[in-house]
Structure 1
């Protein structure tokens, strides 16, 4: 049994990149995440070109088990990468520090189907509350039914295909 309260989000460091790289090769991850090199480029440039993306490694008892991130959609809306039209998703975001997109994965198979995705989303939400975020967004591929169910269980509502949102309530 895994105690979900023992999960910790640590800022991603250079020594975490090989784990992330390995996870992106797993079929149950790459089929939803797209181009591996784009993801690795974002991580390598996390203190430069992509400093608006906040990357974390998910740890359980000091073992790296997954990855997650958040970013302010205000800065995403002007990007077009890999055929991804962020303006179509986030053109309605008119101010900074309001709507934040999240993403996550569980990279170690023995941690799948344990409810950890739900807990990771809750932990990201706690971080966003701390910085004053008002809304959380996620853009899963509609065929990724498992991720969509986790989002819905966390209070997200479908705005349109590939656009799920949740209003953050201050705690």
Structure 2
């Protein structure tokens, strides 16, 4: 049984890159995450060109078990991407600090199908709330049923294929 309160996110640092690299080679991750080199480039340029992307390593009981990120979609819509048309998804976003995209993976197989993805989404949402975001977006492949279920359980709704959103309400 996984104690969800023991799951935490820590900013990705250089020492984490080899482990992230290893996770990207796993077949069950590769089919959803696309080109490994693109991800590694974003990570390596996280203090430069891609400083708007916020990367984290997911820990359970002080063990690295996964990866996640969030980013302000205002900056994504102008990226020239061959594989991913952010302009189509986020072209209507006209202000900073409004819509944030999230992404996540569980890199250690023994932690799959234990509700950890759902908890990662909650932790990312908490971070986005802290900075005043108004909407959260995720763009899973429609074949990634497990990820879609985790999003739906966290209150996301389907806007269109590969576009799931959640409006953040502040009391």
Same fold (TM over 0.5): yes
Per-residue CA deviations over 1:29-55 (Å, capped at 9, x if unaligned) read: 000000000000000000001000000
Unaligned runs of 5+ residues in structure 1 are none
- Tell me how far 1:83 sits from its aligned partner: 2.5
Q: Which residue of 1 aligns with 2:113?
A: 113
Query: 1:28 maps to what in 2?
Result: 28
**Partner SS, residue 129 of structure 2:** helix
- 2:151 is aligned with 1:159: no
Aligned position for 1:142 = 142
Matches within 5 A, 1:56-135: 56-135=56-135
Q: Unpaired segments of 5 or more residues in structure 2?
A: none
CA deviations on 1:59-105 (whole Å, 9 max, x unpaired) are 01110000000000000001121331101000111100000000000
- Distance in 2, matches of 1:80 and 1:152, equals 29
User: TM-score by structure 2 length?
Assistant: 0.98
- CA shift, 1:2, in A, is 1.4
Alpha-carbon distance in 2 for matches of 1:63, 1:112: 15
Q: Structure 1 segments of 4 or more deviating over 2 A?
A: none
* TM-score, with structure 1 as normaliser: 0.98
Give me the CA root mean square deviation. 0.8
Mapped partners of 2:83, 2:25: distance in 1: 21
The count of residues paired between Structure 1 and Structure 2 equals 171
Instruction: Return the alpha-carbon distance in structure 2 between the equivalents of residues 89 and 149 of structure 1.
Output: 20
